[in-house]
Copies of this chain bind each other. A is one copy, B any other.
């Protein structure tokens, strides 16, 4: 049986004794540190920490933790988040016509590999309605045109709010979300881009890669920001190609990378293992 565990995430200015103070606080309250990771970003003096706490024996609860923790958090000017592990993160998926990432995520979810709930899948095309519904997940067909984009995004926001969605995955969603939409969900939208960013941002990256004659292609999962394909990178992977590979070969081979790289980002985010620092991520694997 898995142990009940909470996850405490901390970001603060670097300083002496922070690890001792945090570990001491947990020990003092009879928690057990199951896993701890920390990182100091030397260029900015930022300190990041992730702690998994065994809850059996821990004498603080959701009700009493904040008050007990506040003095330490304040003295170190911490931004922090405590995930009590009592509720799975709720992930919505946006998709267009290419379904390999969607199907892969659904398969991983179904087999228990991804520790999330999926309140809905939305798409600007109706193609995957049946596949999604067959798994008992709501499917929303939200067609979009330049004219209806504001309304479509409003409807999306409504769904996200109504379904208490924690984060949104763009599983090869081929529409560019408006900056105002993206800004509403900082570090809550995960995209997969089919190139080794920053190379070949924008449209048709495999076509760009083919034209340039590269010998390596790749995929990048990242948080979406208001600048297209420019958000903090979570994971990347690559594979070799050669002069015999057509654009179609690249697209086919790339699908296998995209699936894995997106799933890795989703898994990490579901486990609170990604912290964002400016334009970069700290990934505690």
User: Which residues of A pack against B, CB within 8 Å?
Assistant: 16-17, 19-21, 23-24, 26-28, 30, 32-36, 38-42, 57, 99-100, 103, 107, 111, 113, 134, 196-200, 211-216, 218, 232-238, 240, 242-244, 246, 252, 256, 259-260, 263, 279-283, 285
Contact = CB atoms under 8 A, between A and B. Distances in A.
Q: Specify how many copies of this chain sit in the oligomer.
A: 4
Given A17-B32, A24-B24, A103-B107, 5 more contacts: A198-B200, A215-B234, A236-B240, A238-B238, A243-B282
A33 to B, nearest CB: 5
A184 to B, nearest CB: 23
Contact of A34 (B40, B196, B232): B40
Contacts of A279: 211-213
Contacts of A243: 39, 41, 280-283
Contacts of A197: 199, 212, 214
19 contacts: A17-B32, A19-B23, A20-B24, A20-B26, A20-B28, A23-B24, A100-B111, A198-B212, A198-B214, A212-B279, A213-B232, A213-B281, A215-B234, A216-B237, A218-B238, A236-B240, A242-B285, A243-B282, A256-B260
